[in-house]
A and B are shown apart, each in its own frame.
Chain A
């Protein structure tokens, strides 16, 4: 039968799930099981030696999770994917798979606060050093790379300032140094931007956000291009002591990185996803395209409205022409740069924080919580919450001031959202 390149929407509904022969169940069944009965002792041994494909234990793989994984892989144009417990677990699994003590990583300074802390402090405990650079400054990336640098890392849409990662030159730089570019695609989802198409090697997501889309379930996922040469990465190319000297890159070729990540890193660190969560995230993927259309159109309307509001000093949404990365957003995210952005309140000196508090308290529809990518609109004050682990210097480097408010625009009637913001801005200024 002829091959057809099915569209994104079709793949978001069908990829990774063919109705099974026994039941024909149309929805993806939830395989709520810890373990799987072997066919015979030889089957068991072959599975443990990775010589057979199949399930052993849900910490390593699960049939419901496999649907989520293949579907994400398909949507990202990736060779495969591994799902884990959360976005933080996903990026940590990537670092643990790639890096060895003494290695370095160069990362954008425009990152989620938790990621900055994981890079700067948690990895330090493992003798891995992170260097942070201003993401728009290509020469800064180049200058920060040393012979020990093993990866570049950035968020496609920076949290919370909305900077856009310049994927093309960065992936060229990474390629020229023989190291992978790792991109956090959380705020974009594969519907708005597919970093692998621009030359990145690895994409990570907090699937908790727009992929799940309803604020019900945590999950993370790693997708990989399958076209990176890991022969220079001892952690992937060298014989594995826990698999009788198996050389993952020699044996699995373009699946080596993901096999290593699943069969060693996730197996050994245990941050697996629950099958029930995978099911919820699959439901999210099925409507991803229509939700992201609405999220981004609502976000643009809200950003435009705020940018013209007299109580607002500045809106940091790359969908607006005055954002420094507006042209880059048009290039990499032509459908719109997502639905999470920050804005600065106009305040009197010394009242930045109290004005922000008044504003958040006055909101009726926006939920004040620490998440993004819910179907509902959300609000938070980054300096005191999501980025509070950062020092004052780090906050400044990330462009986060006390007057900054972060919004995640949901699927509500946009006029209602504008009404709510107007009344809260009014309340905050009295």
Chain B
């Protein structure tokens, strides 16, 4: 399928956000752009329990070629990557901050993300804080809220489709091979 532009059904399933809010906080072009341009993803609240959703997402993203950085108070390694207690403690540049923490913590994480110069902040499903999201947007960050990084990656790379899920993507144009020009 690839990440090239295509129309979508846009029926907006499985989100509490209004169409206007979706345009602002779940913008398809922003999502595709982030999945393409980001290489290093800090996952705040990543669990070391292999059966937790955050671990599923992290292992998926790692296999898809992203560099993942666990951010969690517990020291040690997750999926072979050293973890850090805060975003500020991460000794390298972060492209995307992916949040698996309750909505009440998002505002503080936005401040941290701005401070470390992250390009974008992304909150997982059901983690919604509009004020925090607007603060991030005002600071020049890209924002995605109430979406799963893994599902969105799967939506544009065929994985979600192979599981019988409704990707809401429609196109009569031929898919491109990796690296193939339009």
Contacts and interface: CB of A to CB of B under 8 A. Distances in A.
Given A80-B163, A258-B164, A250 B52 contact: yes
A137 interface: no
Contacts, number: 147
Contacts of B180: 21
A282 to B, nearest CB: 13
B123 interface: no
A22 B1 CA distance: 11
By secondary structure, the B interface counts as loop
A66 interface: yes
B178 to A, nearest CB: 9
Given A19-B175, A244-B51, A55 B162 contact: yes
Nearest to A255: B165
Interface stretch (B5-13, B38-46, B101-109, B134-142): B5-13
B83 interface: no
Interface stretch (B65-73, B89-97, B112-120, B166-174): B166-174
B11 A258 contact: no
A24 B172 CA distance: 10
Interface in B54-86: 56, 59-60, 63
A70 B9 contact: no
The bracket for how many chain A residues form the interface is: 35 or more
Contacts of A250: 52-53
A334 to B, nearest CB: 20
B162 A21 contact: no
Interface string A69-81: 1100110011111
A83 B173 contact: no
A21 B13 contact: no
Given A11-B170, A80-B163, A251-B51, A21 B176 contact: yes
A18 B173 contact: yes
B133 to A, nearest CB: 20
Interface in A3-29: 3-6, 10-11, 14-16, 18-22, 24
Interface residues of B, number: 47
A359 B130 CA distance: 68
Given A4-B7, A18-B175, A51-B59, A246 B51 contact: yes
B8 A4 contact: yes
A21 B170 contact: no
B11 A19 contact: no
A324 interface: no
Nearest to A1: B5
B37 interface: no
B10 A255 contact: no
Contact of A52 (B2, B9, B60, B171): B60
A219 interface: no
A230 to B, nearest CB: 14
B51 A70 contact: no
Interface in B143-173: 148, 151, 154, 158-173
Contact of A16 (B8, B51, B161): B161
Contacts of A3: 7-10, 28
A83 B164 CA distance: 8
A52 B166 contact: no
B170 A69 contact: no
A46 B154 CA distance: 15
Contacts of A54: 159, 162
Nearest to A25: B174
Contact of B169 (A18, A51, A69, A259): A18
A347 B165 CA distance: 52
B172 to A, nearest CB: 6
A61 B175 contact: no
B60 A245 contact: no
A389 B45 CA distance: 56
B162 A14 contact: no
Contacts of B158: 53
B131 interface: no
A70 B167 contact: yes
Contacts of B8: 3-4
A226 B13 contact: yes
B18 interface: no
A262 interface: yes
Interface string A20-44: 1110100000000000000000110
A387 interface: no
Nearest to A247: B51
A77 B50 contact: no
A227 interface: yes
17 contacts: A3-B7, A6-B7, A15-B9, A18-B174, A19-B172, A43-B63, A46-B59, A69-B164, A70-B167, A78-B166, A79-B14, A81-B166, A83-B164, A244-B51, A250-B52, A255-B151, A255-B163
List 6 tightest A-B contacts by C-beta distance, closest first: A53-B159, A3-B10, A69-B164, A80-B165, A73-B166, A21-B175
Interface of B: 1-2, 5-11, 13-14, 28-29, 50-53, 56, 59-60, 63, 125-126, 148, 151, 154, 158-177, 180
